[in-house]
Structure 1
């Protein structure tokens, strides 16, 4: 029995046209009707932000939004969140996905991973901060103590006790630092500076292991002067008329001394006025 009977070229073309038409119709029905109905074509869901949510909340939270989840093997740790809370997710929040899409989650570990304590001693505070961050640790309290090594780490402590480099501690732990203030414990007497010009005073101050602090003028009219301009110093005959701390006081090495300057003749006039006032009072 013959399914198709072709007696002419015209009949053959008609049959081929029927077959092509049926094929095209089948393709259109499959892609425009069947496939969309089985894949929810055009129906999308916005991925919610799951960061910080506990794993026990996730299932119900995603089910209501026609989504699923899967916990990845990789996990991280931060002290910012409780254990078993979401740290990262994929797809990211705000992404458009089809219903029943699986969201992959990374959770905060129950027990923080252990990391080696780095050596911070003898390094600067800035270097200690960078090093701790690279190890997943944090800087705790910074206490400055008298020591000539300014800003240098003298001791590293964890939970109130010194900790050696190489010891394993929980990631995210806070490390307290004992840091030198650059002054040391050595004390000395403040030198007498009154009556000296600035250059002389600087030599005395630095030679005593101290530092020059603020340079001020007693006379407001001199406020625009540059105290380090040697020409102006000689023209105005500026000398030191006051200092703080005062001469003879005990201070630690490296501390600053503030000085006040004025014209030498005005300083001498004020001294003479005081002496004349004393003489007249004695005469009376």
Structure 2
């Protein structure tokens, strides 16, 4: 019986020793080794790398215990330096562990080629929106006499007319030749004095001109609706689309007897 108790006591002793060693091993692994291996509690603030050149990145990140990887998909910004940082992930200010990899997108060294869109016959506002969509810059606006006001008549790249579909570098400046709304043709302004308003308007529009401000003047000597004055006066040379202001008679109020 005494030998049985002694054997049991021995087994229990060994079991306690094994459990103690196992507990000590687990404690060491989770509280000492693992935190040291994963840099537990040690973080680094991700710096802002925007506009950094490629040659500056490695030393700058290494000094902060960070790594980097260049994204295969580069972007292009015409105003940015070639091979400078455009985007990064994680974003600046993010807290990360030491040794974390920062993914970087660089500005392309050479501008990608794109096909020129057609801007001719578009309003200048719409043309500017199309240029922005294609990654092109609006250059000089050149106004020329044409009845199409603010309508694009020609598109130029480096001083030469460029056709739709021609390949140019992204970010290029495109000059727009735009109509001023007056036209090239010159003509003599017709005499509208003495005409009725409807007939005068018909004549003005038919002549390639436009009716401008209409002023009403009270009078009892000229029939109502008759033009009594115009500016510019008749006979003066004008360009297509020019405005003509007119003064039209209206009867004065008559007292009832």
**TM bucket normalised to smaller:** 0.7 to 0.9
Write the mapping of 1:37-52 to structure 2, written as runs, cut at 5 A.
Answer: 37-52=36-51
Q: How much has 1:10 moved relative to structure 2? A: 8.7
Q: Is the 8 A contact 1:239 1:264 kept in 2?
A: no
Q: Is the 8 A contact 2:214 2:246 kept in 1?
A: yes
Instruction: List alignment gaps of at least 5 residues for structure 2.
Output: 253-257
Tell me the C-alpha RMSD between the 2 structures: 3.2
Report the CA distance shift for 1:12/1:205 in structure 2 as closer, same or farther (over 3 A): farther
Q: TM-score, normalised by structure 2?
A: 0.78
Q: Distance in 2 between matches of 1:22 and 1:8?
A: 21
Write the mapping of 1:163-182 to structure 2, written as runs, cut at 5 A.
Answer: 163-182=162-181
1:257 to 244, 250, 254: 244
Q: How much has 1:86 moved relative to structure 2? A: 0.8
Q: How much has 1:76 moved relative to structure 2? A: 1.8
Q: How much has 1:77 moved relative to structure 2? A: 1.6
Q: Distance in 2 between matches of 1:247 and 1:75?
A: 64
Report the CA distance shift for 1:218/1:27 in structure 2 as closer, same or farther (over 3 A): farther
Q: Is the 8 A contact 2:217 2:250 kept in 1?
A: no
The match for 1:90 is 89
Offset from partner CA, 1:33-66 (integer Å, 9 cap, x none): 2211222112211212111122233233323332
Q: Is the 8 A contact 2:201 2:211 kept in 1?
A: yes
Offset from partner CA, 1:90-138 (integer Å, 9 cap, x none): 1111211112222121211222122222333334434433433333222
Write the mapping of 1:1-284 to structure 2, written as runs, cut at 5 A.
Answer: 19=18, 22-196=21-195, 198-216=197-215, 237=224, 240-261=227-248
Report the CA distance shift for 1:13/1:187 in structure 2 as closer, same or farther (over 3 A): farther
**After TM superposition, which residue ranges in structure 1, 4 or more long, deviate above 6 angstroms?**
5-15
Report the CA distance shift for 1:23/1:158 in structure 2 as closer, same or farther (over 3 A): same
What secondary structure sits across from 1:204 in the alignment?
A: helix
Q: TM-score, normalised by structure 1?
A: 0.72
Q: Distance in 2 between matches of 1:207 and 1:113?
A: 50
Aligned length: 246
Q: How much has 1:171 moved relative to structure 2? A: 1.3
Instruction: List alignment gaps of at least 5 residues for structure 1.
Output: 220-235, 266-284
Which has the larger displacement, 20-29 or 62-71?
20-29
What secondary structure sits across from 2:105 in the alignment?
A: strand
Report the CA distance shift for 1:174/1:20 in structure 2 as closer, same or farther (over 3 A): same
Q: How much has 1:18 moved relative to structure 2? A: 6.0
- Answer 1 or 2: which has greater helix percent: 1
Q: How much has 1:8 moved relative to structure 2? A: 8.1
The match for 1:233 is none
